[in-house]
Amino acid sequence: MSDVTRLLRALDQGYHRPSWHGTNLRGSIRGLRPAAAARRPGRGRHNIQEIVVHCAYWKYAVWRLLTGAKRGAFAHNGSNWFPRSGADAAAWRADVALLDDMHRRLRAAVASLTPRQLSAHGKGRFTKADLVAGVTAHDLYHAGQIQLIKRFL
């Protein structure tokens, strides 16, 4: 199995494919109603909908680093965290669709990498493989966070 194939497998398991570790990011929001996605676990804390858009943004950011695309193609202005409030069903569906779209784009970019590109450094000290592994860990971190928020609520 190639390194690209291994990374794609891990990326998908962290996002939406079955794996040994339990709930992945997409599984953590499956069936979640807009009202639950919009509730905050505490004052000044991010709600699940904000976490979803945050994860979409970082998939976009890694995609951009892998492809060399210029900034400005993300669906929302700003970076990192995007305020969301209210239990709007259409907005919730759009944010989940954005997350799915960013995963598809990222996956396609990873699939197109050669072994040499994978070991090349992007910006900074991390290789492109490191970036993909990092965004996979990021998905799983937030999947666990969402599971905890659902328990608290």
**Residue 31 contacts by C-beta under 8 Å, 6 or more apart in sequence?**
none
DSSP 121: B
pLDDT higher than threshold 90 for residue 63: yes
pLDDT higher than threshold 90 for residue 73: no
- Which pLDDT belongs to residue 87? 86
Partner residues linked to 121 by β-bridges:
127
- Which pLDDT belongs to residue 121? 87
7, 106 in Cβ contact below 8 A?
Answer: no
pLDDT higher than threshold 80 for residue 4: yes
pTM: 0.95
Going from the N-terminus, what domains does the chain have, and what CATH number goes with each? Answer: 3-152 (1.20.120.450)
pLDDT tens-place string over residues 12-54: 999 999 988 889 999 999 999 999 999 999 999 999 999 999 9
pLDDT tens-place string over residues 78-130: 999 999 988 899 999 999 999 999 999 999 999 999 999 999 987 788 999 99
